[in-house]
Amino acid sequence: MGSGGICQSIFASPTTKTSVRRQRSRRLLDRDRLVGHDDGMKYVLLICDDETTSPTMEEIAADPAYRAFAAEVDRRGASIGGARLRPVADATTVRIRNGETLVSDGPFAETKDFIGGIDIIDCADLDDAIAIAARHPYASWGCIEIRPVWE
C-alpha cells in the first residue's frame, strides 16, 4: 500500500480510471447476472493512512468532513458495518511454516501506509463504491482501497 500500490496504479489518470472502472464494473455485473444476484455488490473500503498523522477518535467525531461522509453513506443506505483498527504496534502476525506456528509483533509488511480501518458497503456497482470512497476524508491524504467481497 505504499507509494506504488493499487491506489496510485489504478487511479493514476482520468483515462486509466475510467477504462478500468468500466471494465471492472462490467465484469462484476456480468458475474452477478451469471450467479443470479439482482441486488448490489458488497465492497470493503480499506482505509490506508500514515499512523504518525492519525487523528484521535475525538478529533474524528468533531470533524465536519467525517460527519458529512457518514451522513452521505447513511443517505445512500450503503453502510453494512465498519471499524477503526488499533495501531500497528498492537498487531500480531501469525504464520504457519513447516507445521510450526510463528507469531510476531507488528504488521506483515514494512510500509509507511497501514490499514487503519474498514468500511463495508453495499452498492449498485463499482462506480457507486468509487463515489463513496472519494468522499471519505482519508482519500485526501491517505488512500482508500476498494475490494469486492466474494459472495
Report DSSP state, residue 51: G
pLDDT for the residue numbered 6: 31
Percent of the chain with pLDDT over 90: 44
Q: Does the pLDDT value for residue 82 go beyond 80?
A: yes
- φ/ψ of 94, rounded to 5, equals -120, 130
Is residue 143 within 8 A of residue 10, CB to CB? The reply is no
- Grid cell of 69 as nine digits: 461522509
Identity at 121, one-letter amino acid code: I
